[in-house]
């Protein structure tokens, strides 16, 4: 009771709940390339970084993000306004506009009263909007030099940034949409051989001209000298894929020349590697070159599955239809869990046993006869 009365005498009392600590989430995938094609490689501790950016100013502006480019354009224009405001102020001072005995008809610049007026005059000069209340006269000493210099500065600013914007718009796009590459890749038997397969669906025709598909394997490798290469890249050979007018399956046959020759289903689950798929070509509508890319981790490769058919023929409309809901759909298939190397050994042993059995039957038939 005493405690309760003591608490009630000290009211109002506010009880604050202590905030919970947020758990730090670590990215366990550690992708070199994201699913949307962004390369997760960043450079840091670059010596003389700022000087290199200034020396290669053109590529710096082209690779700059749009928000920073717009900020740069704004800062340069504001700096030019201040520069010409100072030049007009200097011209007015040289011409004697600040003398109290000077008549208004003999002033160098009419309508100016303070620095804000000179700043507005600089804006009118750079933007070439035409002079209004603030304007220079023929009584100025350096006005022709300032106007000539302002024309050259305007041409340089407009020409440079219009060129940068054009290059940024027309350069190849490296991002992809969600339906271009299949979300998963599969490994299954096709024509008696294990094959790695993924799908491409370029329905917009951005890569139909000069289409080229490449597949790279990024994994660890130990050289003969014992050196560990953490990100060793090797290109995988692909079968001919034809045209990309419809959803196309890109096939890599796991042969004796493939880096996946000794890889089994267990190795796919346990070993860490990444497959990078790239698609480059030009658009049939605009002719603009494009490059799209994605990656597959070992957890995104399904062993013993194949892709479901997503194309049907419509007899009523006499055209093929593509069911996009089935683009990523996979079907379970009976597939050996051993590697392609072990599978070829088993097939050779079975072939040898079948030959020996055939020879035994042949000899038995000859003895009976």
CATH of the domain at 284: 2.60.40.1400
CB within 8 A of 202, min separation 6: which ones? 180, 208, 211, 244, 279
Predicted confidence at residue 25, as pLDDT, reads: 40
Question: Mean pLDDT in each 10-residue stretch from start to end of the chain (369 residues)?
Answer: 44 40 47 85 78 80 87 92 90 78 70 83 82 78 86 90 86 62 94 94 87 93 86 94 91 94 92 92 84 91 93 86 90 92 89 66 53
Q: Is residue 32 part of a domain?
A: no
User: Among 144, 170, 196, where does a domain finish?
Assistant: 170
Residue 219: CB atoms within 10 A of its CB come to 19
Residue 319 and residue 192 in one domain: yes
Residues 333 and 343 grouped into a single domain: no
β-sheet bridge partners, residue 199: 249
Same-domain pairing of 196 and 294:
yes
What's the CA gap between 336 and 342, in Å, rounded? 10
The total number of structural domains that make up the chain: 3
Distance (Å, whole) CA 309 – CA 311: 6
Contacts of 257 (CB under 8 A, 6+ apart): 237
Instruction: Look up the pTM and report it.
Output: 0.69
Report if residue 3 sits inside a domain: no
pLDDT score of 259: 93
What confidence score (pLDDT) does residue 13 get? Answer: 36
pLDDT of residue 185: 95
Break the chain down into helix, strand, coil percent, rounded to 5: 35, 25, 40
Q: Where are the alpha helices (DSSP H) in the chain?
A: 2-9, 49-55, 57-63, 66-95, 115-127, 143-170, 265-270, 340-368
Peptide bond connecting 12 to the previous residue in cis, omega within 30 degrees of 0: yes
Cβ atoms of 84 and 126 within 8 Å: the answer is yes
pLDDT of residue 100: 64
- Per the structure, the complete domain to which residue 369 belongs is given by 339-369
At residue 82, the pLDDT reads: 92
3-state DSSP assignment of residue 330: strand
357 and 331 share one domain: no
- Note whether residue 318 is domain-resident: yes
The pLDDT score that the predictor gives to residue 177 is: 55
- Relative to beta strand 209-222, strand 228-236 is antiparallel
Assess if residue 25 is contained within a domain: no
Assigned domain for 23 exists:
no
């Amino acid at each position: 009771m005493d405690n309760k009365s003591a608490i009630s005498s000290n009211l109002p009392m506010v009880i604050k709940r202590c905030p919970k600590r947020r758990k730090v989430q670590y990215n366990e995938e550690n992708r070199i390339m994201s699913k949307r094609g962004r390369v997760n490689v960043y450079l840091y501790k670059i010596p003389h970084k700022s000087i290199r950016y200034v020396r290669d100013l053109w590529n710096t502006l082209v690779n700059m993000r749009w928000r920073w480019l717009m900020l740069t354009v704004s800062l340069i224009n504001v700096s030019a306004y201040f520069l010409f405001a100072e030049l007009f102020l200097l011209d007015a001072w040289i011409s004697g506009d600040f003398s109290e005995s000077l008549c208004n008809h003999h002033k160098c610049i009419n309508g100016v009263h303070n620095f804000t007026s000179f700043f507005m005059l600089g804006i009118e000069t750079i933007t070439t909007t035409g002079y209004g209340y603030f304007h220079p006269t023929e009584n100025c000493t350096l006005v022709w030099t300032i106007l000539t210099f302002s024309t050259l500065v305007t041409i340089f600013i407009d020409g440079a940034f219009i060129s940068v914007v054009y290059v940024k718009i027309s350069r190849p796009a490296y991002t992809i949409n969600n339906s271009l590459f299949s979300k998963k890749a599969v490994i299954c038997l096709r024509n008696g051989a294990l094959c790695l397969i993924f799908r491409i669906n370029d329905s917009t025709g951005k890569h139909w001209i000069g289409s080229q598909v490449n597949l790279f394997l990024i994994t660890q490798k130990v050289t003969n000298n014992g050196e560990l290469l953490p990100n060793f890249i090797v290109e995988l050979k692909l079968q001919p894929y034809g045209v990309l007018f419809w959803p196309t399956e890109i096939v890599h046959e796991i042969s004796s020349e493939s880096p996946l020759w000794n890889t089994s289903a267990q190795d796919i689950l346990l070993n860490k590697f990444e497959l990078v798929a790239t698609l480059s070509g030009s658009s049939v509508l605009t002719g603009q070159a494009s490059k799209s890319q994605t990656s597959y981790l070992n957890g995104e490769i399904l062993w013993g599955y194949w892709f479901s058919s997503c194309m049907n023929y419509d007899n009523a409309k006499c055209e093929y239809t593509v069911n996009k809901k089935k683009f990523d759909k996979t079907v379970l298939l009976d597939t050996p869990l051993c590697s392609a190397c072990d599978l070829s050994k088993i097939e050779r042993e079975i072939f040898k046993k079948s030959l020996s059995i055939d020879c035994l039957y042949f000899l038995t038939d000859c003895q009976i006869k």
